[in-house]
Structure 1
């Protein structure tokens, strides 16, 4: 290798490293089910919690983030006499995959000079891998009728924060496109 090749190789290595780091932003898959699309400006809401959510750490922060997002859609939070009830559910699961089975490999080699060889290789898998999966569920119910008027689910395996998933689930509320779509995850602003 000539000395002139070294800077060129270093430049190519840096370009490859930068390309690997510039991967696509994390995304969430969002499913929306809306029974009552339309204008909701001025409508009042409250937060409803399941008994299992009463002492969950982070539930208050999640509801405050929802307050900001719902206020952008023109809704107003009141704790008594609200027209809508909003329920937020966040779930994070971990699942693992088992390592592969041990393997044995045999190789034969020969050369034109009359030499040859045999090789045996053993492979032992170490560990497995752990994957993370997050899901945010948002339900908006009409308090008077008890009917769910809006439901959205955002899921990701990108290590997303609950607030980023909530933002994805409520993107376009109260009239988001129905069905399933992929939404880029935006990190939550510092509070």
Structure 2
């Protein structure tokens, strides 16, 4: 990957994260009874804050993406068998989704099914992105894409999950998933390779 290609990936991902954070932030504030859309200065300040927040989340997404690429490179060198690495990734996806439910519900009084919404949503988004990735490249891209969109996204989302607020979780997860999806789908175009499994 050349520096020019990396700049393209960086700035487009930054834009995707900022715009998706602005959209989800305005939706969340429109549902808030304490927020009024008649103060132009407040709207401008909030919009700028949302854009900056989304940009920071996209940078976190990019760090996770490059960390995953490095881990995948070493894992493929150590394991030397693609199907074993695929099994490991599927197991890690299941563990990550289970932990998102069990570990978050362990300290709370409410029913565990309320905590299943986020992992199920992440899994659905992951499957959709993985299917699109298969159409863009080949069928070998399904499991790595699903792993990145679920397990890696779950790790990246830990700061929002610690707050245990649905609004904070939604505000972080929307740009995070959008940035992750953008990076993994655009990678083959950036590298000019349709054979790239990611």
TM-score normalised over the length of structure 2: 0.33
More strand, by proportion = 1
More helix, by proportion = 2
